[in-house]
Amino acid sequence: MNSPGRDLFLGRTLDGRYRVRARIARGGMGMVYLADDLRLGRKVAVKAMHPHLVDDENFVRRFGQEAKAAAGLNDQNVVNVFDQGEELGVPYLVMEYIQGETLRDVLKQQKRLTAAQAIEISEAVLKGLAAAHRAGYIHRDLKPENVFLADDGRIKIGDFGLARTADNHTTTSQGLMGTVAYVAPELVTRGAVADARSDIYAFGVMLYEMLTGTQPFRAEQPYQVAIMHTQKDVPRPSDISREATPELDELVRWTTLRDPEKRPKDAAVVLARLHQLLDGGLDAATKVMAPGAGAATTKLPSTTVLRGVDHAAATTHLATTTAAGAGVAGAGTLGASGPAAAAGFSGAGGVAGAGFAGGSGAAAAATPHAAATETNLSENALDRAQYAATKRHKRGLIAAALITVLTLLVTGGAWWFTQGPGAQVAVPDLTGMSLEQAQLTLSEAGLEPHPEQRDCTSPDIPVGAVVEFKPTAATRVEHGTTVQLCLSIGPAQLPVPELVGADTETAKTRIATAGFSFGKIVAERFDAAERGTVLAALDTDHNVLGETYAERAAINLIVSAGPLPEVSGLNAADVASALSAAGLRLDTALNAEEHSDTVPVGKVIRLQQQSETLQVGDAVGLVVSQGPELVTLPNLEGLRMNEAIAQLEELGLVAETGVPGVLRNAVRVNSMSPAAGEQVPKGSTVKLGFEL
């Protein structure tokens, strides 16, 4: 078994083919590694499921869905999945390696995109999404984090971990799928089946975010954002961004209609509409510098945008200028100002940025004409012009060198503090994790778990799981910082207060003050104690509590229902009323009769109980008096006195005679009162006469 915290994949060769070199990303379902495909000699990305999720059938199923969804697509705008397998019981996918960044990264850097950038990305996303929809797959988690911008200019959508086939009618009853900021209203209000129109809604929200730099709905809690999607229309991007034209406003409105029936049916429909707008001269639909004009012309942050100029002429001019600029991608706009500059491009009516020389665009464009007309320049003038040009060239080289040095310093500093030794990471929340899970999570975050753990009591966290840790969650610390874990040993054992004999309300107060919780009154038992007095305190298994008990555990009580009603000598009807008032049930099947010397015939002697103790709700019967038991006197005359006395005692009667005990065997009975044959109650006295 692998030790906790050790990475299972680093350095391994999977399936004899994929040699794992390094970690490159961590997602909700798995870790992504850079690997070498030894068979085809190329770099690939390997996505391995987190080991602690392997036992969760739902995650394994979703992981397999991603493989099937992406492998079933063959489109240049979808991240390709090449292979899948299992290593040490952990599933993995082998995917196309995209060197670059995500749309989310670009939005963080630029805040918002220009219209041209947003259109370029939208077209690629819609192409990939249309391919998925044609193949019968719904993405269900479209967002900037899942749009990949390669350094070579390719734009792809990936992460099909939540994808499903269009004919798999799985609703959202088990929780909203995807990210709440991009969730379609019907998935919130009706738990509807996600379909292509749900992806279209997410695309519309993403287009809004590209143009404005913010999501349309924001709130403190995710559920509040979800509700806002159902109650509000997505605003027009032009309300906060000058990049958005009326056509782009309309595209956002159409794709984010709250009623899915009014939304485009799939991505192909939206893509067709986007092409119509581009062909029709969409105000913001500006051309992007074609690949080949510079070393990195297709990387989005360096894209050169053309606005307000003739596209054909501008394209020709840019191609010529870039060739003179040592093949470095342009970083500015031609004839643009305003929002373009805010997005990392400089304007002022000229081509600005590395690789473009000169002042205004107009001046640069007019150079050939000026050279043709100034034929009368003197040699000195030409020399001065050449000298000035040389100085400008040198100043340009010096400025370029300074810019390069500053860029390297900034980039190096950014690397040092974000990925290098000076980087800081946020401590993940480990609460409730097992020791093995916590150690692995810390290792993946670049932190070190302390080799020894402390013990902590907790009424909520299972024994052996993490209760607390230092530094605490979200604290930013340096890579390699040691985190001390405190594991649960269960709840603390606290002393039980005196409860028996207290009234119910006093007992509840004592329970709370002592650190426990009041459970319930499990029984009201009839007792001589006053009604409501606690007779016993029990644990949750109904055992009598000892001296200590688990912190915050529930304490149940048995309390007195008061004394039983007095029933002796009452008739049955009166007793029935008294029992009902006390909360007891009269069951005539339990009734019985007895002789009684004290209770008249037909009156109740006592209650007939099925158990030694009675509690509210129990059933009882009545024991009714038959009066005293009668005995028929036998004829005792002629018997020796001691024989007569023995017979009377056997019948429960008492003999009265004046004969001393020593003489009783010598005398005989000659009379008795009452007389023989009469009936007398048991215990009666019979007088015996005698003769020698």
Helical H segments across 135-217, by residue range: 185-189, 196-212
- Catalytic residue, candidates 36, 55, 141, 279: 141
Pairing of strands 100-102, 147-150: antiparallel
Are 510 and 498 a contacting pair, CB within 8 Å? Answer: yes
Q: Is 141 tagged catalytic? A: yes
Say how far apart CA 347 and CA 342 lie, in whole Å: 10
Could you tell me how far CA 446 lies from the centroid of its own chain? 24
32 CB-near residues (< 8 Å, 6+ apart): 23, 24, 25, 26, 45, 46, 47, 48
Helix (H) or strand (E) holding 342: helix 339-342
Helix (H, G, I), strand (E, B) or coil at 229: helix
Give the C-alpha separation, 45 to 102, whole Å. 15
C-alpha distance across the termini of the chain, in Å: 109
Phi–psi pair at 575, nearest 5 degrees: -65, -40
| Lookup: tokens for 273 | 């509409």
Sign of the CA dihedral running 375, 379, 383, 384: negative
| Long-range contacts, 219-227 (Cβ 8 Å, 24+) | 222/180, 223/180, 225/180, 225/181, 226/176, 226/180, 226/183, 226/188, 227/188
Compute the distance between CA of residue 164 and CA of residue 504 in angstroms, rounded to an integer. 58
Annotated active-site positions, please?
A: 141
